[in-house]
Structure 1
Amino acid sequence: MRIDDPGRTWPLLTLDRAAVEHNVATVSAALAVAGVEHAPHVKTHMSRELWEQQGAAGAWGATVATPGQLRTVLRWGTARRLLLANELVDPRDAARLRVALDEGAAEEVWVCVDSAHGVEVLRRAFDGVAHRRLGVLVELGVDGGRTGVRTVEGVAVLAAAVADAGLRVVGVSGYEGPVASGTSTAELDAVARWCASLGDAGAAVEHLVEGPVVLSAGGSAFADVVVRRLTALRGARVVVRSGAYVAHDQGHYAHADPWTRLGVAPLRPAITVWAAVLSAPEHGLAVCGLGRRDVSFDLHLPTPLVARSTDHEGRLDRPRAVDARVTALDDQHAYLRVPDDDLSPGDVVGFGVSHPCTTFDKYRTGLLTDGDQVTGVLTFEFSEEP
């Protein structure tokens, strides 16, 4: 099978098989050498097939962002340990989780709390009894950031409330992303200070934890700082949730690039979104059938990588370099500035992306490829049946 076979159409999402395998193996090996456990954030792709590659490479478990994603991954049956890196505040979701754990759907599920309400929801669902499959992480946040208790002292108070509710405290969690937006020395130092605060929060709750206290952080953009700083805290069990690495990108993560700062081989961008040139209506302008509904645009616009002519059957010619830049996106259109008028209607452009998480969710399926050859089909399950 090829990406340009009859029955297919553009836009089309493809992932380079070799790049995915390289990224999964590289990050798995790097974290193993560092003595860090990995629970990759599968919200990036919500693909059972990609998760199974990550799990086979040694991931401790899978991280999810919502109770709906938690139910989906539990249904896959291939992730025996899960981490809900978000607050669980709906009693209906807590009740479903109790049933799933009672039925043995997973060996262990960790959830986060940052409020008395969250503690009470879990207490009621689990009858005030420490369920051997449920672990609770108290989340540490940052001022102006998203979820999480704002102070170390507040983390300690809430952790005591978790224990008093008969629930099992396993440690603390947090997300370092809001601390810095770039990789300057000052910004990396700010992330390091946040890691020290997470360590302080862990020390404040460790008397409530059986075994090593868990320190869990994100680590997609600042994996080097997170790994080095948290593993320096002796006696802690470090679990990072890096997820975007599986596909990497041509923009945000290529610029942040924590993995080469950690001393490992560079990751490879795996995603290409292919789209047809619909019109070249004036000098220097080409319009492609690729829009906000087809590709990420929250951090940067997509990057044209190559162009390909097509024959009378729609088959692709060899890739050629193209001097083009995306200047704007509509719902279904991309505006390309093409100084040399090197694009014509019917040509197909391969685009790189910035921030893979918000590209995957535009599709229900994608193709795993080796060049133009299709080696597998990926499914992306971002929504549940109502």
Structure 2
Amino acid sequence: MNGEAAAFLVLQPLSRPLAAARRRMSRPVATTIRRFTRMALAHSDRSALVDLAWLKKQDARSAKILDASWWMPNVPKDKRYSEDELQGFQQKLQQHLLHNQSGIQRFDIDVVKDTTNTLPHMLPTLEQMANHLAHMGLSSPEDDVIVVYSTNGFVASARCWWMLRAYSFQNVFVIDGGIDPEKDLLASASSGEAPAAGTSDADLLPLEDREKALKATMKFRPELVWNKQDVLHFVAAKEKSPEGEKIFLLDARSEGRFKGTEPEPRAGLASGHVPGSFSVPFQAVLQSNGKMRRGAALREAFASTGLFSDDATGAVSSASISCTCGSGVTAGVVALALHEAGLPDASVYDGSWTEYGADASCPKEV
């Protein structure tokens, strides 16, 4: 058997689920998705951040919209929206603001996680992720255009963005600064705009076909995910050559937690930080209104790292940068900020300080 025939036999089983799924899709829906994908790709050359005005465009009605609202464990319950409240907001946003008839889906990082791992909200396995995303109406990492928002700024919406990219989704966008349901709904109600027609559940592929298609086409991108061993390699490399190794670990926790002067919110964790890492609190990349900084102001947030100094220009690739935090959530905000600053593929240490700080054998600094 020649090489081409062997390659065909290997690839053919992978292509069948997606091919069958696409045959079930109506031509008008497929055309709309392709048109919106082209529009999204044109936007992605500039930024992964969008706003409600962009989302309200007629061609954006086929986007898959995900609500990734999530709160830190230390936020009191009376300061959070309940799941019932979030669902009510989703329905009102869908009806009055987003011109999208396919429904807003909930992406809860405490649900979409690796259930076999005892660490909080770790990246799911490919099979777990495909199952969750199929239930949300997704079916193609290449064609699906996904817009993620949160009702409390960025926080988990940036992690959701990173999780989807870690499984090769190409067109993932984040509402800059999140959505304030009450404020934005009030503005929409006063505008008098009527929702446009969009896709509906009837246009979606059957659930089983969506899941098969995702399992066949999703690809894990290991370069976007660090584990504890990667961090230990980083520490060893920095000890050997502190200035010579062009690798960076950026810590999104508060400066007090980084320096060990503030307690960790989770019990049983040491204080301090990974030796050789830099403190870049996630709030530093945001404006006072909660939106992402832009241009020189955004690069200034990374001044202590030297990433954007004249000496580093062109010498640092995003493949040599990873972001960490308490449990892998706000690290996504810093990774997204690096994307906006021109370093698009920074990784995230998924276990972050919850894993590293609990291991007494891991070297630490204060």
TM-score, normalized by length of structure 1? 0.28
Higher-strand-fraction structure = 1
TM-score, normalized by length of structure 2? 0.29
Higher-helix-fraction structure = 2
Answer with 1 or 2: which has the greater Rg: 1
